Structure 1
Amino acid sequence: LLFFLQPPEKEGGLPRHVGNKTECALLGFLLDLKRDYQDVRNEIPEEKLHKVYTFNSVRKSMSTVLKNSDGSFRIFSKGASEIVLKKCFKILSADGEPKVFRPRDRDDIVKTVIEPMASEGLRTICLAFRDFPAGEPEPEWDNENDIVTGLTCIAVVGIEDPVRPEVPDAIKKCQRAGITVRMVTGDNINTARAIALKCGILNPGEDFLCLEGKDFNRRIRNEKGEIEQERIDKIWPKLRVLARSSPTDKHTLVKGIIDSTIFDQRQVVAVTGDGTNDGPALKKADVGFAMGIAGTDVAKEASDIILTDDNFTSIVKAVMWGRNVYDSISKFLQFQLTVNVVAVIVAFTGACITQDSPLKAVQMLWVNLIMDTLASLALATEPPTEALLLRKPYGRNKPLISRTMMKNILGHAFYQLVVVFTLLFAGEKIFDIDSGRNAPLHAPPSEHYTIVFNTFVMMQLFNEINARKIHGERNVFEGIFNNAIFCTIVLGTFVVQVSNLLLTLETLTN
């Protein structure tokens, strides 16, 4: 069997669950009743099970048929409490005797047991059985609806899925980042609402919708039973919890949000899932997250990203890293375009006016090395920060070069061109040196053009620091020492450039 309990890692701790958490919780309950489930498994091994009706997301239950030694059969069934209870005609009393279970009794259990448990975030599961006497003809086991009926209720148990301590904070970060978190579950709507409140998906005072699958389908379909996009558009913006849903409902919601046109930008939808039935929704979503531990192979194949720790906080990290990669590309583009604009204009204008390019081929190669290889490495290694989650997502059609970036590129380019052209055409007067213009071919480097080149390179070096910020931030040095690679490249480039300058000056002096 795929689920069992292991001893706790620390003395006094809780047993470790291996496999399906619901099954393990029931096994733990059995141990609390001083009954060893392993003895039952040894007595009735899996190969002796006469018939198994596996869990189905439509009927929300599963059942197992056992054949007794006297030729009789007994079926055990468990599933969503309000659904299984409707199939129960009897209930065990406190002394273990079956008694009649009327609809009025069922309503009382729903109000006094199931709803209070669900409001506290517990998933309620009904345990029931039915006997088939030996003297009667053997039932048609393939006809499940006739088999799983007339049950005797044993108990209703409440199972808590404890919210991990880090999840509420992670959901708040998503909401601050402009990401709306929705819960689509097969649980009771009261259970789902309680868990959503604990997680922070629902906040008191907000205008939101919590629907069950049946109500959701009733609202989105017309008289012919066809899904209409206009009807979905009236629901999904406020929808936060969809309970007692089927895999089809999940896929319908994802498709409806993606196809919606009520906003200027098309919505980007990410879906998490671990079951085989989640495959269609994971495939349809823009980004599918599958659980690496609890997820099935079908879910992993349909997804784009696998969470190896099954932790919601990993999704927040993925968002942060995704935004960081996008920003790193933008930073490099801002730097690259500034350098290219200045280099091209200086080389072209200088060649037209002075008949010789101020920047020689070898110098341009060195500048390109700074621009392409080293700068891309420096700017691409900026570590992600929490500040990335304080802004709204970029739109799908947003240009890679924003208005702020364009202002930075043109502003820096204008500043650099003014400085370079001032040095090029008036540098000899400012520094009282010989002009480097109109020098013969293959002439040694002049002091004039050495100043022009080194000034140009230093401006690119400091512009690399400016390029770290692309959203109009004023402090370009913020967090600069958190990136050791960036500091090493900038410092290394500066040292190499200064060393080259000293060698050039020594040549000029000699």
Structure 2
Amino acid sequence: MADKNKEPAVYKRGCNVLEEERHKSVFASFLEQLNSPLIYILMVASVISLFLKEYSDMAIIVAVILVNSVIGVIQEGKAQKALEALKKMTSPKALLKEGDKIREVPAGELIPGDIVCLEAGRQIPADIELITAVNLKVEEAALTGESVPVLKDTGRNKKAFMSTTVTYGRGEGVVTSIGMDTEIGKIAKMIQNAPMEKTPLQKRLADLGKILSVVSVILCVLLFLIAVLQKRDVMEMLITAISLAVAAVPEGLPAIVTMVLALSVSRMVKVNTIVKRLPSVETLGCVSVVCSDKTGTLTQNRMTVSRCLVDGRICSPSTLKIQRDRHFLYGFTLCNDAELSSETRLGDPTELALLDMAASFGLYRHELERRLPRKDEISFDSKRKMMTTLHREGKSSVSYTKGSPDEILQRCRYILSGGQVVPMSQRDRTEIKSVLKQFTGDALRVLALGMQMDVEKAREKELVFVGMAGMADPVRPEAAGAVSEFRKAGVKTVMITGDREDTAFAIAKELHIASRMEECLSGEEMEKMDDGEFARRIPKVRVFAHVSPEHKVRIVSGFKAAGEIVAMTGDGVNDAPSLKSADVGIAMGMAGTDVAKNAADIVLTDDNFATITKAIAQGRSIYENIKKSVLFLLSSNFGEIITMLAAIALGLASPLKPSHILWINLITDSLPALALGVDVNGNKNYMRRPPRSKNESLFAGGGLSCTILYGLLIAIISTTAFLQLPLTFLSSAGMPVTLGNLRGLMADPALLSRCQTYAFTVLGISQLFHAIGMRDVETSVFRMKHFNNKLMIAAFAIGIGLQLLVTEVPYFIGVFGTCSLALQEWILLLILSAMPVLAHEVLILLP
């Protein structure tokens, strides 16, 4: 029984949102960073150091654990904030009705009691109870799993639910529940703790990490066994082997990749691109075909009626007269769902163009509908390609049908001539088709108007032909440049439109998408083709005209079957299936429906086709940056392993102490790798290369040889630094260079400490130089724009500073067991450390 004393809930605007998963506390995130097998290995090493009373090693290991965890927490926090900002930018809108006015507001602002208007393509912004419904169908798969749209009415089936979408018709409803009180809110409570899916790149890197972990552990076990056979200090070598196992694996790589993707997604917002799903950032770089809708994407989506066919004459809209051309003006105004006022401009661009034409004569739909109220209608759908409305004026009625000229003509038996209804002759049909061909040949979008007098219900047969309106939608000035950019980048541009072939070809020719009619294919021709014939034809087609939503899905599937990576643009309800089936779905943020935005991977905030070129360029750049980070980390870690393994195998003292390995891991696996991941290299033009295969290995294009070459080089110069002092002594003393003599000299703790300091310094700083060269393996460092990557400059400076800290500050010298270095020693070690840059320059000069 309800509590009568309980006060009714008080709602505030801004509460109509679903609660997101409660974010982890900083402490919980910190503990999560520690939940790694590699960190467990480090912890074991610290405990062993404690038992051996190697307190300095233990302190360094603990410091490395803490610093890595803190960096991970910071990176995770930044990535989360970037993604939250993007979610706010993609929040749905609602049409709020206040008296006679309708305005678009953020859906989150709704409260119970508000009245909202629904139309095809809109997402239902809250749980509502319908008060009007005209052929209203709602897709409720999010709630029921039922893929067939549900027909709604104001009777038994009057409930509509938040996050479902209107696919047909229109209606109005009163908000009954918002936010977490809605049906979808109840589901949200149950799925809040679902794990986030990793991107394909992250999965590939995770697999790579597992392989590297196994290889590194095997190498380090080998290192330990060699040490045992050589009767070295077992516990010391155990710690060294464990430390090397940790340092050899870039355990911070997944965090760096996540950070790079998150920062890159934020960077793409600056080029008017909202990335809803991180995997699409990676896929963008592979796109080889862009299938674009024409209207609003390649054109300005600002339709204007430029020519009319009325009563057998072709004329400008300005020459029309209300009395003489009453049905032409009334029909296009009343058979219309757009909203036009001094404050509002909502609806399909072609319908708005018709209202603009009527407004120039002082005719406005809402005022006209007071005199001729709408009593019945048949809503537009993409299969019929028309809509019909029935209006009453006193005891009489008139029905207007607006739509595709071909469809209207098929249903016409009469024609309006001189104000009189007369049977339509074959000559009339031929003349109308001739004018239609003339209009479409001039790239005009044409709508025809038919009518019926004194009918009880809206019908679409035995119509009276009233006339046609030809609308121009100018090409976007930047669209032709974008098509040219795609061509240079090896990306094909394909135009898909519901317009007739001649209209579509006129626009495609102006944009240099197609040059011959043979490159056009209509939806009717597609239907006659079997899959085999369609597969043979599709590689040569650049324009698909007069297509339906089913055709669009087949087009996307056809290109994918041909091995292409397809990006698909769209803005309407009928684009949603093809947006979902494409490798990358791109919706228009301004004119796009909620259905299209929800189905897409990417949303363009400026509805500009040229923005896609910037997005693809960014996608290619982001992948290359991640690849650079991976190869840098792998080659650096490979150099560490070879340095240690070679020295131990030769029976020499260890070139590095465990603390040295961990320190190098700290200064090279964080900032330099991240700096490569967010690099902006002005010398690169990624849109002058063909798209890469989405199955391309990270080691493709010389990646493996780069890793091995630089890894070996780092190992050689580090070993050279380690042996420099004993080799100089043997040479000056005239003694032969033998392993026995080298071992004998390194038995001196003071000399060994200085040798290790040399190796430690060169191994660390050489990786910093290596990071600079990895910015662009095809360009000289002297031609790179280094100030484009201030983070790299900071990473290099911080790395040098930290290395100075452990060799020049007495406290840290004691902790790390290093030696203070003289100026001439620093000069020598810096020259050795710069060898990766010298190698970089030599490799560029090679043919």
Instruction: Report how far residue 197 of structure 1 moved.
Output: 1.9
Mapping 1:253-268, distance limit 5 Å: 253-260=555-562, 266-268=563-565
Deviations 1:365-388 (A, max 9, x none): 121123321122111111376711
* 1:466 and 1:476 in contact (8 A); partners too: no
- Within the alignment, does 1:233 sit opposite 2:527 as a pair? no
- Which stretches in structure 2 are left out of the alignment for 5+ residues? 1-101, 103-336, 734-741, 823-847
Instruction: Report how far residue 506 of structure 1 moved.
Output: 7.5
Match of 2:634 in 1: 337
Match of 1:189 in 2: 501
Name the stretch that deviates more: 186-195 or 76-85.
Answer: 76-85
* 1:208 and 1:240 in contact (8 A); partners too: no
* 2:443 and 2:506 in contact (8 A); partners too: yes
Instruction: Report how far residue 332 of structure 1 moved.
Output: 0.9
Mapping 1:205-224, distance limit 5 Å: 209-218=519-528, 220-221=529-530
Deviations 1:50-85 (A, max 9, x none): 211111212211111113311x33111111123212
Match of 2:442 in 1: 120
Tell me which of the two structures has the higher relative contact order, counting C-alpha pairs closer than 8 angstroms and 6 or more residues apart.
2
Whichever residue aligns with residue 53 of structure 1, its letter is: I
Name the stretch that deviates more: 432-441 or 20-29.
Answer: 432-441
Whichever residue aligns with residue 492 of structure 1, its letter is: I
- Within the alignment, does 1:411 sit opposite 2:734 as a pair? no
- Within the alignment, does 1:465 sit opposite 2:772 as a pair? yes
Match of 1:51 in 2: 376
Whichever residue aligns with residue 413 of structure 1, its letter is: G
Instruction: Report how far residue 171 of structure 1 moved.
Output: 2.0
Distance 1:475 1:489 in 2: 16
Counterpart of 2:803 (choices 458, 479, 497) is 497
* 2:655 and 2:755 in contact (8 A); partners too: no
Counterpart of 2:665 (choices 368, 381, 384) is 368
Distance 1:110 1:183 in 2: 24
Match of 1:81 in 2: 405
Mapping 1:371-386, distance limit 5 Å: 371-383=668-680
Instruction: Report how far residue 89 of structure 1 moved.
Output: 3.0
Tell me the secondary structure at the aligned position of residue 182 of structure 1. Answer: strand
Match of 1:201 in 2: 513
Whichever residue aligns with residue 27 of structure 1, its letter is: L
Whichever residue aligns with residue 351 of structure 2, its letter is: E
Tell me the secondary structure at the aligned position of residue 798 of structure 2. Answer: helix
Instruction: Report how far residue 43 of structure 1 moved.
Output: 3.3
- Which stretches in structure 1 are left out of the alignment for 5+ residues? 9-15, 142-146, 222-227, 261-265
* 1:291 and 1:308 in contact (8 A); partners too: yes
Distance 2:577 2:473 in 1: 25
Tell me the secondary structure at the aligned position of residue 402 of structure 2. Answer: strand
Distance 1:476 1:173, change over 3 A: farther
Distance 1:103 1:478, change over 3 A: farther
Whichever residue aligns with residue 240 of structure 1, its letter is: R
Instruction: Report how far residue 430 of structure 1 moved.
Output: 4.0
Tell me the secondary structure at the aligned position of residue 493 of structure 2. Answer: coil
Distance 2:752 2:391 in 1: 96
Name the stretch that deviates more: 421-430 or 448-457.
Answer: 421-430
Match of 1:300 in 2: 597
Match of 1:225 in 2: none
CA RMSD of aligned residues (A): 2.9
Distance 1:295 1:22, change over 3 A: same
Match of 2:393 in 1: 68
Match of 1:23 in 2: 351
Percent identity over paired residues:
31
* 1:320 and 1:384 in contact (8 A); partners too: no
Instruction: Report how far residue 238 of structure 1 moved.
Output: 0.6
Distance 1:129 1:454, change over 3 A: same
Deviations 1:321-359 (A, max 9, x none): 221221112101211111111100111222333543212
Match of 1:107 in 2: 430
Distance 1:441 1:129, change over 3 A: farther
Instruction: Report how far residue 117 of structure 1 moved.
Output: 1.9
Distance 2:519 2:821 in 1: 78
* 1:335 and 1:467 in contact (8 A); partners too: yes
Mapping 1:474-489, distance limit 5 Å: 474=780, 477-489=783-795
Distance 1:402 1:370 in 2: 27
* 1:378 and 1:489 in contact (8 A); partners too: yes
Match of 1:131 in 2: 453
- Within the alignment, does 1:92 sit opposite 2:394 as a pair? no
Whichever residue aligns with residue 481 of structure 1, its letter is: F
Whichever residue aligns with residue 352 of structure 2, its letter is: C
Instruction: Report how far residue 237 of structure 1 moved.
Output: 0.2
Instruction: Report how far residue 318 of structure 1 moved.
Output: 2.4
Distance 1:371 1:103, change over 3 A: farther
Tell me the secondary structure at the aligned position of residue 685 of structure 2. Answer: helix
Name the stretch that deviates more: 395-404 or 351-360.
Answer: 351-360
Instruction: Report how far residue 451 of structure 1 moved.
Output: 2.3
Match of 2:721 in 1: 423
Instruction: Report how far residue 314 of structure 1 moved.
Output: 2.9
* 2:681 and 2:785 in contact (8 A); partners too: no
Match of 1:12 in 2: none
Whichever residue aligns with residue 480 of structure 1, its letter is: H
Whichever residue aligns with residue 355 of structure 2, its letter is: L
Distance 1:119 1:492 in 2: 65
* 2:681 and 2:775 in contact (8 A); partners too: no
Counterpart of 2:490 (choices 168, 171, 178) is 178
Distance 2:723 2:701 in 1: 32
Distance 1:19 1:490, change over 3 A: farther
Whichever residue aligns with residue 675 of structure 2, its letter is: A
